[in-house]
Structure 1
Amino acid sequence: MRYVVIGAGAVGGTIGARLAEAGRDVVLVARGRHLDAIREQGGLRLDDPDRSRVVGVPAVASVDEVDWRPGDVAVLATKTQDTEPILDALAARAPDVVVACAQNGVANERMAAARFARVQAVLVILPAEHYEPGVVIASSVPVPGVLDVGTYPSGVDDVSDAIAADLTAAGFSSRADPAVMEGKYGKLLTNLANALDAACASDDPAVDELREAAADEGERALAAAGITARTGDDDRVRREGLITQRPVGGRERGGSSSWQSLQRGAGSIEAEFLNGEIVALGAAHGVATPVNAVLTRVAGEMAAAGEQPGSRRGQDLLAAVAAFPLLG
């Protein structure tokens, strides 16, 4: 089994490098200066709290440059806003490939299932960062992350078992989970705070109120839609004793994936597919979601304008929520 990791940023780079270190066959799909740096230094540099090393792994610029083979697994590790064009290109080149969505949110699996017969959902709990070309930073040791795998929309198969076994060999905590989407919906509720983390300073006095309100809206929208999310003790037990973050190179982790998008000036952010997922469910099932609607809008504005993280005031967001038109 070969892993073609599409999106060699924080999550994808960590997954690809660790799999390669474990002797698995890996190809990275990267772009721009990141791709150039990987090629120039002979691999991807992976920094963690214990060491820094360059992991020799081949990298290409697009799925069109991959020599697709039977048995390949395409691991999607991009932000959701980049998923559809990649899936379209992938379907044209490798229509029978297994697609594994190692991404936040729950929209990627739907997009993949519309194009591919075999889709694996991957729950990603992996504290990692990517700011510098050719370098990714993973801050949890000795286990870099939790990566549970199952077929979409539910169940497991031999491919789920094989992927989980390879990820375990690479040092991750991974299991084949027939209800992995329940875990991903639970992670979605956690990720509703990503836009807030990106928008406001962590010590902003309004942050706690906004975070709790966003999560409450999410829980009510999922309940109204009849969707089960794995939360509370089930989620805590899965992480406990595994995700142990430490400084890397004397530096604490900067922030969420959305915070990192603003920090890098990426020009886009995934709030539309995190908070926006809750807004869409609320609209479909009669649940008001003004906090998530405001967070979706503000995060998008900040990304488009190139604003740095933490440049908005929580009180201004609360005022926008108070003025937001509720469902009629």
Structure 2
Amino acid sequence: MRHIIIGAGAVGGAIGGRLAESGSEVLLVARGAHYEALRDHGLRLVTPQGTRTHRLPVAEGPEAVELRADDVLVLTVKTQDSIAALDAWAPREVAGTGGATAGEVLPLVCAQNGVESERLALRRFSRVYGMCVWLPAHFLEPGVVVADCAPLTGLLHIGRYPSGLDETARSIAGALEKAPFEAPVVPDVMRWKYAKLLANLGNALRAVCGTSGGDARAELLERAVAEGRAAFAAAGIEAVSDEEQREARGHKVDPQPLEGHPRGGGSSWQSLSRGTGTIETDYLNGEIVLIGRAHGVPTPVNAVLQRVADEFARDRRPASSLPFGELAARVGGPVPQAVIARGSAARDSS
């Protein structure tokens, strides 16, 4: 089995590097300066166990790869880049299959935040797998990925999309568990991904305001999550409980101090820090806004976080540069009590 990592940034680089360390065959796909650094100098993976440089095959896109029947495509680009990646890879012919395409025969794993990429993928690929990624990692410098957690690098629930189990999921999980990952194979992977979506609603807040705000910041985040729970309840969406998540993680994936590599923010903060011009907030806070609009649930906090983060990305404003008071003023008053009640009811029943 060869793992083709489509988007070898923070998550993709950590997964690819760790798989390579454990003996799996890996091919990295990257673009621009990151591709050039990987090609010329290898992947420098920094972990609590030390820094290793992996000289792995690397490609800029599918046209440079001869696909094989034993390939697994692991999609780790941000969701806003999913359609371009899926459209590029799905029609590629797979050697030794009598002309079948990747979309027809190869498994594709969506190792991404949010819940939209699996749906996008299923239009183009017949074998789609969801992966709930709990893998804190940083990618700010071309060729360098920092994954600072221990004793495990990450917790990666995997399952068939929209639901179910099969031998492919078990094989992928087996390869991951030879590396320092835990990869539970679950029949309901989207329940895990919807729960992770709630945990990612603070990404935009961290990206634009940093860690300022104190108790008011915590209250604002609680309001965003309450809106998410209320939207889920109205839509009949199930997510695993906070308790189940905490039990699964335990102290398996705890951040460790790494000299010379101070912790930054999450994936959205990194996008702003690198000045990419895009951000995944449309598929995090924007997902809650979408569900809320479809089911008559107001989501004012998430709507403001979505708009402000999009503005920051579009204008390439520096990460963490918005005073929290300015953001709070844009959000305005507290979320309606009816929304809080619906969110609490959804939490209590999960």
Q: CA deviation at 1:101?
A: 0.3
Q: Would you say 1:79 and 2:89 are equivalent positions?
A: no
Preserved CA contact (<8 Å) 1:165 1:175: no
Using the alignment, how far apart are the partners of 1:243 and 1:252 within structure 2?
A: 17
Using the alignment, how far apart are the partners of 2:108 and 2:147 within structure 1?
A: 24
Preserved CA contact (<8 Å) 2:130 2:160: yes
Q: CA deviation at 1:133?
A: 0.8
Structure 1 residue corresponding to 2:164, chosen from 140, 152, 155: 155
Q: CA deviation at 1:141?
A: 1.7
Alignment of 1:293-312 (within 5 A): 293-312=303-322
Q: CA-to-partner distance for each residue in 1:248-297, whole Å, 9 max, x for gaps?
A: 22433111110111111111100000000000000000100000000000
Task: Report the equivalent of 1:110.
Answer: 119
Alignment of 1:1-328 (within 5 A): 1-41=1-41, 43-93=42-92, 94-95=102-103, 96-205=105-214, 206-322=216-332
* RMSD over equivalenced CA pairs, Å: 1.5
Using the alignment, how far apart are the partners of 2:15 and 2:232 within structure 1?
A: 30
SS in 1 for 2:125: coil
State the one-letter code of the partner of 2:34: H
SS in 1 for 2:287: helix
SS in 1 for 2:132: strand
Using the alignment, how far apart are the partners of 1:271 and 1:313 within structure 2?
A: 19
State the one-letter code of the partner of 2:257: P
Using the alignment, how far apart are the partners of 1:273 and 1:66 within structure 2?
A: 29
Using the alignment, how far apart are the partners of 1:262 and 1:288 within structure 2?
A: 28
State the one-letter code of the partner of 2:17: A
State the one-letter code of the partner of 1:21: E
State the one-letter code of the partner of 1:162: S
Q: CA-to-partner distance for each residue in 1:62-111, whole Å, 9 max, x for gaps?
A: 12211101121110000000000110111121222211000000001000
Q: CA deviation at 1:323?
A: 8.3
Q: Which runs of 4+ in 1 moved over 4 A?
A: none
Aligned length: 325
Please list every run of 5 or more consecutive structure 2 residues that lacks an aligned counterpart in the other structure.
93-101, 337-350
Please list every run of 5 or more consecutive structure 1 residues that lacks an aligned counterpart in the other structure.
none
State the one-letter code of the partner of 2:135: L
Tell which deviates more after alignment, 16-25 or 311-320.
311-320
Preserved CA contact (<8 Å) 2:212 2:324: no
Q: CA deviation at 1:15?
A: 0.4
Preserved CA contact (<8 Å) 2:152 2:182: yes
Tell which deviates more after alignment, 103-112 or 32-41.
32-41
Using the alignment, how far apart are the partners of 2:63 and 2:191 within structure 1?
A: 33
Tell which deviates more after alignment, 44-53 or 72-81.
44-53
State the one-letter code of the partner of 2:198: L
Q: CA-to-partner distance for each residue in 1:18-50, whole Å, 9 max, x for gaps?
A: 111111111000111111111111x21100122
Q: Normalising to structure 1: TM-score of the pair?
A: 0.96
Q: CA deviation at 1:149?
A: 0.7
Q: CA deviation at 1:319?
A: 2.3
SS in 2 for 1:178: coil
Q: CA-to-partner distance for each residue in 1:203-253, whole Å, 9 max, x for gaps?
A: 324311211110000010011100011131101011112111112224331
State the one-letter code of the partner of 2:292: G
Q: Normalising to structure 2: TM-score of the pair?
A: 0.90
Q: CA deviation at 1:158?
A: 0.4
Determine what percentage of the aligned residue pairs are the same residue: 49
State the one-letter code of the partner of 1:114: R
